[in-house]
Chain A
Amino acid sequence: MEILFASAVGILTAAGIYLILRKRTFPVILGLSLLTYGVNLFLFATGRLMVNAPPVLNKYAEVPYTDPLPQALVLTAIVISFGMTAVVVMIALGAYLSAKDDHIDMVEDTKRAGDDA
């Protein structure tokens, strides 16, 4: 299972990075989302993988618990990543609406403007 998990994290990261290197805002945002999944899973897995051992204390029996700390950290990370995505989306939107252009590179802008002229 560890192999599956690690390969999934790797693939999510690779896909995220590939999309982040695109030239338009929307793919970059998608890439950030994929990278976020990858990173959150990575952080989560630092507590090691366990099945059927949620960190909810059992009053009646001695049972194993998985590591709760990475979970708490990842929980806040998930919520924060929503905030981050929202801000990025908004900036991308504002830029597109004002310039009618969704390139993320400024250098291209000047070049294109030069071409038009």
Chain B
Amino acid sequence: MSLFLIAALPFLGALFPALLIRAGRNAAAASAGFTTLLAFIGLLLNAPAVLRGEVVQARLDWLPGLGLNANFYLDGLGLLFAGLILGIGLLIILYARFYLSREDPMGQFYTYLLLFQGAMIGIVLSDNILLLLVFWELTSLSSFLLIGYWKHLPAGRQGARMALAVTGSGGLAMIGGMLILGHIVGSYDLTVILQQKELIQASPLYLPALILILIGAFTKSAQFPFHFWLPHAMAAPTPVSAYLHSATMVKAGLFLMARMWPVLAGTEAWFYIVATTGLITMVLGAVIALFKDDLKALLAYSTVSHLGLITMLLGFGTKPAAIAAVFHIINHATFKAALFMTAGIIDHSAHTRDIKRLGGLRKLMPITFTIAVIASLSMAGIPPLNGFLSKEMMLEETVNTLWRNSHYLVPGLAVFGAMFSAAYSFRYIVHVFLGPQRTDYPTQPHDPEVGLWLAPALLAVLVVAVGLSPNLLSGPVVSYAAAAVIGDGEVPHFHAQLWHGITIPLMMSGMAITGGILLLWGHPKLAKLWNAAPRPEAKVIFDAVLGGMTRTSQRVTDILHNGSITRYSAIMLVFTTAISLYAYHTGVAAEATRAVQQAGALPIIGWICLVLATLFIVLNHRKRLLALVLIGVVGLIVSLSFNYLSAPDLALTQISVEVVTIILMLLALNFLPKDTPVESPVSARLRDAAIAVTAGTGVGGLIYALMTRDFIAPSISEFHLANSYKGGGGTNVVNVILVDFRGYDTFGEIIVLGIAALVIFALTEAILGSKVRAYLLNRKPDLPQDGDPHPLMMVIATRVMMPLALMVAAYIFFRGHNLPGGGFIAGLIAAIAMLMQYMASGFGWAAERQRVYYHGIIGSGVLIAATTGMGAWLAGKPFLTSAFGYLHWAPLEEFEWATAALFDLGVFLAVVGAVMLTLESLARLAWQPGMQSEHPMDINPARDDAPTIEKEA
């Protein structure tokens, strides 16, 4: 199966649970499981090739200009991680089906889970670091949704926020690091980067890149000092903890370190940063874990500790350590996921996770007990389980490690950590399951149904099986994964065995286990000491830091954004004017090359009217209705100037837009105050006038300078003029540009227009749904009303005009390709024809006769335009390529057909729908009961008011 499909399957599958939840919880779970299974099978199909030493690739140049390619590859490391993600994912899906209660929205859960799974798969399969970063951020986002899944719990919300803040900011650091890395190598492809060890390590940017990338990895994998988010994320439902915090998300940081190991590891900086951080984290996590009474908190800190262990191994930078790290990744995933699931089972059945309230569960929950014992002993490092093998490999590596010339520091601390690790593992068994049965459990514990224990049981079987025959079961995977980590082209030999005589590691193991037993024995006293000792609380610090940052940014924002839009506009205008003035003073203007044309009488008259109207608006803008009328005058003159200056299409468009705009503003003014009071002092007005005049002079001067000079390069308009008829089949070049040359722009534009109309519709709905509705219904008009809102003459006239106007629209539409006209103008005219009915006969009357909703008209317009565009694909041409031809039907004149006309029909419909929806929405605000005359001039014989007349007679 193609790697593309494996990476895409979880994302595609994420749709199903959300939809299928209506068919029941089983259907939702099954769909999620099926998708995961499919991807898992797809992965397994690729496994033989990888285990032969090949690297499976899938490449797609996505944005090659940015170096962002959708390249995926699968090597041993990718196979190991993808296998864990999908395999444990399957078990989690099964477990979650039985874990979540009836009240939990299960469809959402599986959708989030699959999104997360897809993001993880994307990380481990990416062959491009930019792509990897995208998936990396996706895991942060989707894990946020999963951790905060129980939205009603404050702990869940806070934990989710903390996880997002920590891993998200780490992700930002990593973006920086990765970009530096890509810059050093000159490629963003991992397979290329991984070949360039010398180049990268010799670069002066190596250290910054390393630190930034490590911050990303450490935050994700909960390494000290970023470890604190992981325990707080335990507020998530247990399946989430078992999945994210044992096998997948927290391993993403480890994966990244392993992935980058060939080029980043091996230096002193790497050793001291990574190994030390890992060591501290391992010891610290283990110590804290022993003193946690919440089962999940115990497991969370133990996870922190084990992640530290693996980080430390990767930090050693030696081949055997890398092999041990890979092996422990598998082992930790198996026993820790199983342990989280048993913790969930206990919580589910006893309704508490507090160790102090548990104990003696051995007889009550024998199955859970067996699973928990196997997994815990593996975690403690007891033979013959898999945890023992990798822990011993770890101890062996520490013995060979020199830290600042000290032979004893690393092994000593490792044994110390392992001691606590053994202690908390034993505690998980002894304090929860052993001891006397109690009588005060919140509810009587019992073993759960098979669906809940099957998944951890399978994992426990793996724990034992890998422990007994590690080389057969995990050998090939570990070898090839380690080969990918080491990256020198050789496949290392992996050989683990339970017994190889009395060695130093074995003695260290023995010390750790003995020490662990002693620690557990002294636990009550130690716990008292521990609880009495003062220690920093991470959440308090985190909240304080975050609060401080929030307050600072709030202060900065308050200074910059004081809520005065006038001020923002003024600042922006002054700034723009200032930089324009600067450009004017420092730049050099070319000589004027075009002669100024003589103006006839008409332009002078038009200019005088325009200037007078504009000045009048400014002076009298407080009388709003008057200003509106004058705006109409300005619009009219603008459209006449378009006509005079050889732009008939623009003139037609401007005048029809003018009509609808004025109607729109009139409708709005109906609700607004009719006058603007004087508020600003004279000084403020003078200041504004100064800004306005300066800016206006600048704009006027600029266009004058432009108009008196020729183009410095030939314009592409020559091409349009030359090809309009030959290539586009139309003689109206403006229309051909709109529907053909630049059809994509037009297509985008009608979508924007449609969205604007829908926004207005939504706003209207919101207003009508609020308290404002009551006010609107009881509003008293503030101006004297006309006696007859629907005068007879006007009603008759508009009804006669309706078909005529539509006819004109059709005419304008059809001639558009060759003469001024087209979809935009025709759409506006048709809309005006319908608006006339609203105005003359009333909203109620018109709404009653409306058969098709305007939303639908907008939608069909966009769809028609899109399908026309896609039609070009059938001919093997790019989107929106038009075709045309000529038909000759006697006795008609020869006429043209063009697919562009269909596209223009889409434009027409979208414009009609958008204009009508906009104005209709506004008109709905004005509607009041009893407002419309019942039947304005409606001659309808079927109507039942005839009997009334008879009665009167």
Contacts and interface: CB of A to CB of B under 8 A. Distances in A.
Interface string B305-333: 00000000000000000000000000000
B638 A10 contact: no
B692 A14 contact: yes
A3 B706 contact: no
Given A9-B703, A18-B618, A57 B760 contact: no
Nearest to B642: A44
B903 to A, nearest CB: 14
Interface in A65-79: 65-69, 71-72, 74-76, 78-79
Contact of A15 (B596, B617, B766, B819): B617
B675 to A, nearest CB: 10
A78 B142 CA distance: 43
A79 B753 contact: yes
A75 B680 contact: no
B56 interface: no
Interface in B687-707: 688-689, 691-693, 695-697, 699-701, 703-704, 706-707
Contacts of B775: 97
A83 B701 contact: no
A113 interface: no
Contacts of A23: 566, 679-680
Contact of A56 (B680, B716, B819): B819
A102 B704 CA distance: 37
B569 A21 contact: yes
A55 B733 contact: yes
Interface string B616-633: 011001001001100100
Contacts of B566: 21-23, 104-105
Given A6-B704, A68-B737, A30 B617 contact: yes
Given A56-B820, A80-B752, A17 B596 contact: no
Contacts of A61: none
B618 A15 contact: yes
B672 A14 contact: no
Interface stretch (B42-50, B195-203, B339-347, B654-662): B654-662
Contacts of B567: 105
Nearest to A97: B772
Interface stretch (B155-163, B458-466, B557-565): B557-565
B386 interface: no
Given A78-B650, A79-B824, A91-B763, A49 B679 contact: no
A78 B653 contact: yes
B502 to A, nearest CB: 78
Interface stretch (B75-83, B607-615, B934-942): B607-615
A30 B631 contact: yes
Given A6-B701, A6-B703, A79-B653, A90 B763 contact: yes
A22 to B, nearest CB: 7
A72 B604 contact: no
Given A98-B772, A105-B564, A51 B645 contact: yes
A79 B831 CA distance: 13
- The listed residue with most B CB atoms (<10 A of its CB), out of A26, A34, A42, A48, is A26
Q: Is the interface on chain A under 10, 10 to 19, 20 to 34, or 35 or more residues? A: 35 or more
B289 interface: no
A16 to B, nearest CB: 8
B650 A21 contact: no
A9 B700 contact: yes
B708 interface: yes
A14 B618 CA distance: 10
B664 interface: yes
- The listed residue with most A CB atoms (<10 A of its CB), out of B641, B668, B824, is B668
B807 interface: no
Contacts of A49: 597, 645, 707
Contacts of A44: 642, 645, 647, 650
A117 interface: no
Interface string A1-31: 1111111111111111111111111110110
A55 B597 CA distance: 19
B653 A75 contact: yes
Contacts of A29: 665
A21 B766 contact: no
A109 to B, nearest CB: 8
A40 B638 contact: yes
Contact of A18 (B689, B700, B760): B689
B731 A57 contact: yes
B614 A34 contact: yes
Given A17-B692, A71-B649, A5 B737 contact: no
B647 A87 contact: no
Across the A-B interface, the 5 shortest Cβ-Cβ residue pairs: A10-B700, A14-B696, A106-B563, A6-B704, A83-B756
16 contacts: A2-B707, A3-B599, A15-B696, A17-B692, A18-B688, A52-B646, A53-B646, A55-B733, A55-B734, A57-B731, A58-B731, A65-B721, A67-B717, A82-B660, A89-B668, A92-B668
Interface of A: 1-27, 29-30, 33-34, 37-38, 40-42, 44-59, 65-69, 71-72, 74-76, 78-87, 89-94, 96-98, 102, 104-110
Interface of B: 562-567, 569-570, 573, 594, 596-599, 603-604, 607, 610-611, 614-615, 617-618, 621, 624, 627-628, 631, 634-635, 638, 641-642, 644-650, 653-654, 657, 660-661, 664-665, 668-669, 671-673, 676, 679-680, 688-689, 691-693, 695-697, 699-701, 703-704, 706-708, 715-717, 720-721, 724-725, 731-734, 737-738, 742, 745-746, 749, 752-753, 756-757, 759-760, 763-764, 766-767, 770-772, 775-776, 818-820, 824, 828, 911, 914-915, 918, 921-922, 925
Given A25-B672, A41-B638, A107-B563, 5 more contacts: A9-B700, A56-B733, A68-B734, A69-B716, A92-B668
